[in-house]
Amino acid sequence: MSDAALELDGLTRRYGEREALSEVSLSLAGGHTLVVFGPNGAGKTTLLRVLATLLRPHAGSVRVLGRELPEESWAVRGRVGVLAHEPLLYRELTAFENLRLHARLHGVGAARVGELLEAVAMGARAHEPLRTLSRGMVQRVAVARCVLHDPELLLLDEPYSNLDPAAVELVARLIGGPGRPGEPGASGARTRVICSHDPSGGLAQADVVLGLLAGRPVLLADAEQVDPQEIAGLYR
Partner 1 sequence: MSGVQELAPPPRSERPRDALAQTGLWRTVGALLRKELLVELRTLESVPGMSLFALSTFVVFHFALDRGSVEGDLAAGILWVTLLFAAILGVNRLFVTDAEQGGFDAFLLAPVDRSAMFIAKALTLLAYLALLELVAVPAFALLLLGSPLGPALPGLLATLALGDLGVAVIGTLVGALAVQTRARDLLGPLLALPLLVPIVIGGSRASSSLFEHAHRTGPAARWLLALGLYDLVFGLIAYAVFDFLLED
Q: Which residues bind partner 1 (CB under 8 A)?
A: 52-56, 74, 77-80, 82, 84, 86-93, 97, 101-102, 104-109, 112, 115-116, 118-119, 121, 129, 145, 149-151, 166, 169-170, 173-174, 186-188
DSSP character at residue 177:
B
Residue 106 CB, shortest distance to partner 1, in Å, is 5
Does residue 70 have a cis bond before it (omega within 30 degrees)? yes
Q: Is 213 helix (H, G, I), strand (E, B) or coil?
A: strand
Question: In the sheet that 18-29 helps form, which strands lie side by side, from edge to edge?
Answer: 18-29, 4-15, 59-64, 67-69
Residue 202 CB, shortest distance to partner 1, in Å, is 23
What's the rounded Cα separation, in Å, for the pair 146 and 86?
A: 12
Residue 231 CB, shortest distance to partner 1, in Å, is 28
Number of C-beta neighbours around residue 96 at 10 A: 19
H helix runs in 53-131, sequence order: 73-76, 95-106, 110-119
Q: How many residues would you count in the chain?
A: 236
Residue (170 or 223) nearer to partner 1, CB = 170
Residue (28 or 55) nearer to partner 1, CB = 55
- Which residue from 135, 145, 154 is spatially nearest to 79, judged by alpha carbons? 154
Residue (8 or 103) nearer to partner 1, CB = 103
Residue (171 or 223) nearer to partner 1, CB = 171
Residue 220 CB, shortest distance to partner 1, in Å, is 26
Residue 173 CB, shortest distance to partner 1, in Å, is 6
Residue (151 or 199) nearer to partner 1, CB = 151
